[in-house]
Structure 1
């Protein structure tokens, strides 16, 4: 679904541009050093846009110093107090997230919109299934996809009626199928870029499943311009998950892809531990576009790894280094990881010649 082009700092969304990854800090924004440190770790993981809460004037003013030290656009998350939105914009926020309905009077919303218009920064209108208006709950008999869409369009219309259409819309629900239906409906009713995600998805394990299913169904229809995987976990995990979802759907190229076999009775190595260590290693090689195989059987490993650029297979105290299905080296089990890293370093050197 082609949406309008919107600029967020030096990034561009909509209009067929690549889907960008967003996350949110969980530090106190007033603590500049802690917030900057977390943002830099998210940048390293592949985060494209970061959102920070601005619940106090001190937090809004801290944005100015945070912006000096980071390299990705910053979105200020605002609730209730229109003055915090204005202060965040004045201190360099590249985008603000508000719900006009909880900002207050039309004059207060207009003050925020005018400030955003002066700097030509986008406003993200966010609607959550947990904060639907009472009249819509009564109209639809509770939280529904249709209610979410009507609420979002109503909130967006408030800003549009004030003469500004530099908007991004998000509608979120923790109900996966409701969220999917809502995005399908909304995409037929607006050409504003959409920020998509399954809100309050849960802990790392459960949240990954819900987010992968929901985002997969939404993104596979061409819906969505930015995404967040909302997890009760380290925000870096959100970014790793989002990247895997986009790569799996073919919406993002590059980075290392890992394929690994399940354990079975033939496995004579700690395959789970080995695969986890490989996963940690390859985070350092996101500039490479390669497939790495991790196999637990020296009998079938070479054949199973034939489609990978590089692979390792473990046995009883020994291991194999494999390239495109061919065994290139047999070595002690405890040297497998260093051998893999050495090969990746060589691939990087060849790429950068």
Structure 2
């Protein structure tokens, strides 16, 4: 089979690139995964602890809310403790934006048309420019401007795009171009239509999200359908999965969406069957346990876990490590697609974890050697 698979090709929209701290967004930069803390930002230790957990899960950029002076006062300590760029979420209080910029925020989430006079906008732009901050314009179907609701009668793609273009125009009029834009909605059809239209009108990076998506299962499905459709069409430069779940879960789901589309690879990609009466071991519980125990693996690799030999060998040939269920509690292990050895039921999970860890170490060592040789 040819290594070129045109039916798997995603032609990414060409956008200009900005910097959010040390993370490039847009252009040919990897699509970044974002999340947002849910601790009071004024509680710096709790917020820092949550940020570190999100970093461990792979977050590239993390947003924190800054609704008051206590939050912006804690922001400097938080920025210093974080290993990824921090976005300060500002709504209407332009002074919080000034304080956040001075405290080291890498990006301000603020809609310039909502903070009052042109003089205030000028101050925020000056602070962002002086501190090397980007700005994220965040249009949301749930908080559209009153005049647009009166004009269109309800949230619609045209209203979201017009709101975004109004905010963009304000920044452009002040000579500021280090911005990215989101036009989020909880309705998948509305969000996809708005992003698609906006993508045809601007060249700035787009931040994708299906807002208020729901709980872990429902929100994951809704986000995968909405953002997956856009990413498949080449639209999107950074993503945030909005779940009623811990922010680390948002990061993991974000990577799963990107991994499914072949856009980014991180950690173990598990191929597993839904289980049936043919299974030689408890596939459901085995996969649940393996996913939990392999969360620390960051090296991209694939693992197939199939309960029987119907599809097991075929899937195992396509993965780095594979296991298929056999009879009498004895299962076949595949390494690099080739049958290698058997393992007993009671030793299976520990054995697979050791194999994955060893494979990760082997891949990392190979990459390190290649880097040294290139130097």
User: Is TM-score (shorter-chain normalized) higher than 0.5?
Assistant: yes
Aligned residue in 2 for 1:293: 304
CA distance in 2, matches of 1:254, 1:207: 21
What is the 5 A alignment of 1:251-330? 251-287=263-299, 289-297=300-308, 301-315=312-326, 317-330=329-342
Q: CA deviation at 1:299?
A: 6.2
Greater alpha carbon shift after TM alignment, 263-272 vs 152-161:
263-272
Q: CA deviation at 1:302?
A: 3.0
- Preserved contact between residue 206 and residue 238 of structure 2 (Cα < 8 Å): yes
CA distance in 1, matches of 2:339, 2:108: 54
CA distance in 2, matches of 1:46, 1:27: 19
- Preserved contact between residue 255 and residue 265 of structure 2 (Cα < 8 Å): no
Kindly report the root-mean-square deviation, in angstroms, between the aligned alpha carbons of the 2 structures.
Answer: 1.6
Q: TM-score, normalised by structure 1?
A: 0.95
Structure 2 alignment gaps of length 5 or more: 1-12, 367-375
What is the 5 A alignment of 1:75-224? 75-224=87-236
Equivalences, count: 352
Q: TM-score, normalised by structure 2?
A: 0.90
* Counterpart among 20, 39, 46 of residue 32 in structure 2: 20
- Preserved contact between residue 269 and residue 314 of structure 1 (Cα < 8 Å): yes
Q: CA deviation at 1:298?
A: 5.2
Question: Match of 2:38, SS?
Answer: coil
Structure 1 alignment gaps of length 5 or more: none
Q: CA deviation at 1:324?
A: 4.2
Question: Match of 1:262, SS?
Answer: coil
Greater alpha carbon shift after TM alignment, 215-224 vs 85-94:
215-224
Question: Match of 2:186, SS?
Answer: coil
CA distance in 2, matches of 1:310, 1:205: 27
CA distance in 1, matches of 2:255, 2:58: 8
